[in-house]
Structure 1
Amino acid sequence: MQNGTDLYALDINRAAFVQACGGPCSEGCVTLARIGEDAWALGDSKRPNAQPLRFTTEELDAAGIDPARFGLNV
């Protein structure tokens, strides 16, 4: 399992982010990309220049974020 420091060392320049919206996407959506075997980057479409936060699969699960909602597999 990776720790938080390791997650931010991963290159995400070619990460493919997918949006999931709880309502109209015109108000902004959460974006998620797999960036490693047990690593994810979570962004905000309203703030495209902000650095995405990074999580392990276990941390995403603890936060109630299901990659399947984004069409992604764990």
Structure 2
Amino acid sequence: MSGMDLYGLVVDGVRFSRACGGNTHPDGEACVTLARIGDDAWAMGDSKRPDAEPLRFTTAELDAAGIDPARFGLSA
């Protein structure tokens, strides 16, 4: 993934999957969304802020943060 511009990858039209749990938001359950946007690239968003620009990560960065795409029904 060296040298790839994660924020240059298109997220329009990708399908985000949700994983919910942990601390609950006052307006309902707190959920994180995740979508594969490349071979080694992921976009992560917040279901409470769907219009916010999603953060971008490599698979190694997700692993380092303890985030497993399988929890979202996705495979790494």
TM-score, scaled relative to structure 2: 0.87
Which of 37, 40, 44 is residue 39 of structure 2 equivalent to? 37
5+ residue gaps, structure 2, are none
| d(CA) in 2 for partners of 1:31, 1:58 | 18
Measured on the aligned residues, the alpha-carbon RMSD in Å equals 1.7
Higher normalized strand content (fraction of residues): 2
3-state DSSP of counterpart to 2:21: coil
Determine if contact 2:20/2:29 at 8 Å carries over to the other structure: no
The answer to whether structure 1 residue 9 and structure 2 residue 11 are counterparts is no
8 Å contact kept, 2:17–2:72: yes
Which residue does the alignment assign to 2:62?
Answer: 60
Q: Report sequence identity in percent.
A: 68
Please report the TM-score for the alignment, with normalisation by the length of structure 1.
0.89
1:9 is matched by which residue type in structure 2?
A: G
Larger Rg: 2
- Following TM superposition, the consecutive aligned residue runs of length 4 or more in structure 1 with deviations greater than 2 angstroms are 23-28
